[in-house]
Each structure stands twice: as structure tokens, then as C-alpha cells.
């Protein structure tokens, strides 16, 4: 495995999905870092939770807040937000990865140190999955309760 693959794998934190991210990031690299549409079903379904899972906490919380606002004021806009996130979220992760990688490479000269730093700064936040499932289940239970008590 070459250094670029090791760096990406270290940043992602696990092999599952590595090949998909490698292909997705290659699209952006081919455009010299510019945006290229890369569809992520998980970003589409998860929205802000995708970012929280990918340890992009500020982006995730902001997107969740935007989702709550849209769901309560302009519900029809939720679908366009979800579709947008399905295509834009991988690029946002790409930009974060590239910035992190450049920063790490300027601070660490040896490959081992670079890979360890990428592993520490990247990775994933597993509890995000459980939090998302819990929140969605509570929302569904609330909707069922509201429907039953309204009848």
C-alpha cells in the first residue's frame, strides 16, 4: 500500500468504505481539489449525523439545527437539503482531509508520525450511529403518540 492510501486509511479510521472514499476523493483530485458530485447514501439518510459520525461536529450540529428549522417551517425543503447533503458531504470531508493532511505533513517529517497524527485527527465517532437511531426512534414514537391522542 502506498503512502497516499495509508494516509487516507489512517484518516478514515477503518477499512470499510475505504475504496469508495478513495474513488470519491480521486474525482476531486482530478478536478484539482474542486467540487465533483459524489453521491453518499449515508449522508443523504443521516444528514447532520453523517458529519458527527465523521467527527465534523460543528458541521453536524449546524446541519441538524438547519434540519429542525426546515422541518418545522418549510418541510418541503427537507428533501432538497437531504439530496444536497448526499452529494456535497463527501466533498466537505475531502476538504477537511486535505487540510488536515497538509497540516500534518508540515509538522511531521516521518511517515509513522504523519499516519498516527492523521489517525488521531480523523477517524469516526461510533456513538453517532446509536444517537441517530435513538433520536429517530423517539421522533417516530412521538409522531405515533401525537396521531393516537389526536384521534
pLDDT greater at residue 151 or residue 119: 119
Q: Which three cell numbers stand for residue 64?
A: 441538524
User: Is the predicted pLDDT of residue 151 greater than 80, yes or no?
Assistant: no
Q: What is the pLDDT of residues 8-42, one digit of tens each?
A: 999 999 999 999 999 999 999 999 999 999 999 99
33: region left, alpha or beta (phi > 0 left; psi from -120 to 50 alpha)? left
Q: 113 near 135, Cβ under 8 Å?
A: no
Write out the three cell numbers for 140. 417516530
Give the DSSP H or E segment for 19.
helix 18-30
CA distance 129 to 66: 19
Buried b (16+ CB within 10 A) or exposed e, 54-83: bbbeebbeebbebbeebeeeeeeeeeebbe
Q: What's the whole-model pTM score?
A: 0.89
Q: What is the pLDDT of residue 75?
A: 87
Going by pLDDT thresholds of 50, 70 and 90, the confidence category of residue 82 is very high
pLDDT tens for each residue of 38-79: 999 999 999 999 999 999 999 999 999 999 999 889 888 989
Amino acid at each position: 500500500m502506498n503512502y497516499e492510501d495509508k494516509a487516507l486509511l489512517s484518516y478514515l479510521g477503518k477499512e470499510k468504505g475505504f475504496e469508495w472514499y478513495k474513488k470519491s476523493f480521486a474525482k476531486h483530485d482530478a478536478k484539482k481539489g474542486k467540487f465533483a458530485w459524489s453521491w453518499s447514501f449515508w449522508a443523504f439518510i443521516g444528514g447532520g449525523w453523517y458529519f458527527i459520525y465523521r467527527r465534523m461536529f460543528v458541521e453536524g450540529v449546524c446541519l441538524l439545527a438547519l434540519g429542525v428549522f426546515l422541518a418545522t417551517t418549510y418541510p418541503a425543503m427537507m428533501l432538497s437539503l437531504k439530496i444536497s447533503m448526499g452529494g456535497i458531504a463527501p466533498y466537505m470531508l475531502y476538504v477537511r482531509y486535505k487540510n488536515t493532511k497538509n497540516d500534518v505533513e508540515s509538522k511531521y517529517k516521518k511517515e509513522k508520525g504523519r499516519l498516527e497524527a492523521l489517525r488521531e485527527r480523523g477517524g469516526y465517532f461510533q456513538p453517532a450511529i446509536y444517537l441517530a437511531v435513538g433520536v429517530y426512534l423517539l421522533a417516530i414514537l412521538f409522531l405515533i403518540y401525537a396521531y393516537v391522542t389526536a384521534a
